[in-house]
Chains A and B, each alone.
Chain A
Amino acid sequence: MYFYLIIFSIGFYFLSMVSSFIYLSKPKPAYVKWISGLLTAGFVTHTITMILRFYQSGHFPITNLHESLSFFAWGLALFLLIIHYRYGISVLFSFATPIVVLFISLSLSVPTGLFPLAPILKSIWLPIHVTLAFLGDAIFALTFCISIMYLIQEHHIKGKKIGKTTKLLPSLTLLDQLNYRLLTIGFPLLTLGIITGSIWAEYAWGSYWSWDPKETWSLITWLVYAALLHQRLTVGWRGKKAAWVAIIGFGMILFTFLGVNLLLSGLHSYGRWS
């Protein structure tokens, strides 16, 4: 049942992605309804799978790699829909839905079974820590997409190549402001994620900070975004520079999220497959 529901939700996400690609070649407003409708359908199905998982396992379904990949995709879909209804930037779908599809599909490529929870993971701080961290990550995935859109648009306007692409993408200022706004939401989430994580670490391992690879990389990621926020506020960094840093920041997140789990070992590594 759980498995079939996930497949259904992937199906909806996938169709939403395909229609968002069609939209790129033929930008008709009618297609946007299809894209957002299918994405909503995928999101609702996805939410049901998580509730189901919660009942089956008795704890928040974000304790192993499969569940966290799936949760990340869920958060991304959620924010994507919110931004769509707030700002109506239809092309954003074409950039972000592939990431949703990629991550939910990845979540099926790792073991999906229910594992008995390691005693160490049984704490209220765990769901809080993981939820905050992944929601922050999902926000940064969106800033990644928006930064790419910014760079494409900027490249065209600077290169004096005005045409279909420039028409399709929103204005530079809108993209830049949206990036900034998302940074002011994502950064606190990331910060709180790290703080709650360290509180939980105190409970579980008896130490707030023990420099295991995941902690170290999280800190580096945090520093990148902190620097970006600082530069934006003080010297007025914006536009191209800010977009590049947001892209690098998301690369850090991906490495912290996946790279550390798969390549490096440390205290967090019980989360490797299970």
Chain B
Amino acid sequence: MRDLITVVGMNHKTAPVEVREKLSFQETQLPASFKQLSRIKGVKESAILSTCNRVEIYTVFKPGTSNTQDIFNFLSEFHQIPPETFRDCIYELSDLHAIRHIFRVASSLDSMVLGEPQILGQFKNAYGLATENKATGMILNRLFHKAFSVAKRVRTETRIANSAVSISFAAVELAKKIFDHLSDCQVLLIGAGEMCELAAKHFINAGIYEIYITNRTFNRAMALAEDFGGEAVPFKDYIFLLEKVDIILTSTGATEPIITADIVSRAMKKRKNRPMFFIDIAVPRDVEEKVHNLSNVFLYDIDDLKEVVTANQQEREKEAKKAEKIISEEALQFTHWMDNLEVVPTITNLRKHADAIRKEELKKTISKLKNLSEKDKEAIDRLTQAIVNKLLHGPSVMLKQTEKNGAGRSAVEIVQKMFKLDNPDKANILSGKERKS
């Protein structure tokens, strides 16, 4: 029987935000939470991941003691919320399923926006807090580090995070395919609106050179200009800016297009055909459709951008399938590592290891002593076997006894370190040699 990794938690898919916020953990609550968790029967290690989209408790139970109901009760008692109010929101996973789940969370396959990068940071932070509170041990330490490397593998081996999946980010990505350096670009923001301002913020973060803001209500433009560190321009003057600015974000309440192909074509002459990129977020649209037909001018409206985003999402979903494969593979490997931590396999490994050394040394010596008869060789062989058996008797008995006392894991750890059994590759090499000889 081996230790059991379990996950008890809820995420944006299983629980509404009203429930998630009630069950979330503040950083200051963590020391007390870990203390309570450690008192639960059988719990050896624990960690808590609490973000706005999920609350999850990872635990390692001693063999045969696992009882996720206790973790569930802990959640209810700690937050003083009646269990029936959130019972249906909770998922409980153990062993291979739990490991896979943890890897999926770290790799952002379980996120609301597939492949979004923040979760790995939050995940690392959760691990840091758990180690600070000394709540993790050998298994969770290894599990978290493995999860980091799995997330990295997913990121490099699949294109899951390679495409923009929000409208404003897609607009920035697109601008980068028209202009070489956004740091040389000037942006004009016409009108206001949540989406438009969000896009403007994305462009500012991307490091544009300057942003101008215009609005029918000049005060509104002034306020936004202050927010963005840009320059406010009176609404009647913005047309003159068109020969200067490269990217235009529009979102006015106008019922007719305010920017016509004529206006743009005149501006293009003055700017010697330097490219322009119009992003029209308004409905009804602010920019005449014909503008897109002018050379070196590109016009994308809200639907065009939505289409880009949908295509990118599909791409991510395709890549997610590849990622699932990587994760299943790694999770399985992790259970193998855990199996190897057990007492019986450790004894077997120890014997194999010793026997491999014995055989190798025996071969060396016998090849040097050329005058030995077959009988002599057999005697030496028996001698070495006897030495190995007697030497290993002590550790083997010790391991078996500690298993009964419940301290098997720490003994296994010591023995593995002592004989360098914790490196499975090396063990394989030795057993390979053994087979050959």
Contacts and interface: CB of A to CB of B under 8 A. Distances in A.
Interface of A: 153, 157-158, 160, 162-163, 166-167, 169-174, 177, 235-241
Given A157-B298, A160-B300, A240-B295, A172 B177 contact: yes
A239 B296 CA distance: 7
Given A162-B174, A163-B311, A173 B273 contact: no
B177 to A, nearest CB: 5
Contact of B177 (A153, A160, A236): A153
A241 B177 contact: no
B180 interface: yes
A236 B272 contact: yes
Interface residues of B, number: 24
A172 B176 CA distance: 9
A238 B178 CA distance: 13
A162 B142 CA distance: 41
A163 B315 CA distance: 9
B163 interface: yes
B180 A177 contact: yes
B290 to A, nearest CB: 13
Contacts, number: 57
Contacts of A163: 311, 315
B42 interface: no
A128 B162 CA distance: 49
Instruction: Tell me whether chain A's interface is mostly helix, strand or loop, or mixed.
Output: helix
A173 B311 contact: no
Contacts of B351: none
A158 B298 contact: yes
A171 B162 contact: no
Contacts of A157: 174, 177-178, 298
Contacts of B315: 163
A159 B307 CA distance: 12
27 contacts: A153-B177, A158-B292, A162-B170, A162-B308, A166-B177, A167-B177, A169-B177, A171-B176, A171-B177, A171-B179, A171-B180, A172-B177, A172-B179, A173-B178, A173-B275, A174-B180, A177-B180, A236-B271, A236-B272, A236-B273, A236-B274, A238-B273, A238-B274, A239-B295, A240-B295, A240-B296, A241-B295
B272 A235 contact: yes
Question: Which 8 A-B pairs rank lowest in CB-CB distance, beginning with the nearest?
Answer: A236-B272, A174-B180, A173-B180, A236-B273, A239-B296, A162-B308, A171-B180, A173-B179
Central interface residue in B174, B176, B275, B311, by most chain A CB within 10 Å: B275
Nearest to A27: B159
Given A160-B300, A162-B311, A238-B273, 17 more contacts: A157-B174, A157-B178, A158-B292, A160-B308, A162-B177, A163-B311, A171-B177, A171-B178, A171-B179, A171-B180, A173-B180, A236-B271, A236-B272, A238-B272, A238-B274, A239-B273, A240-B296
Interface string B158-187: 000011000000100010111110000000
B304 interface: yes
A239 B177 contact: no
A163 B170 CA distance: 11
Contacts of B275: 172-173, 239
A166 B178 CA distance: 10
B174 to A, nearest CB: 6
B407 to A, nearest CB: 47
Interface string B140-165: 00000000000000000000001100
A240 B292 CA distance: 14
A241 B295 CA distance: 9
Contacts of B180: 170-171, 173-174, 177
Contact of A238 (B177, B179, B296, B307): B296
A87 to B, nearest CB: 10
A243 to B, nearest CB: 11
Contacts of B178: 157, 171-173
Contacts of A241: 295
A173 B296 CA distance: 10
A239 B311 CA distance: 27
Interface string B111-153: 0000000000000000000000000000000000000000000
Contacts of A170: 180
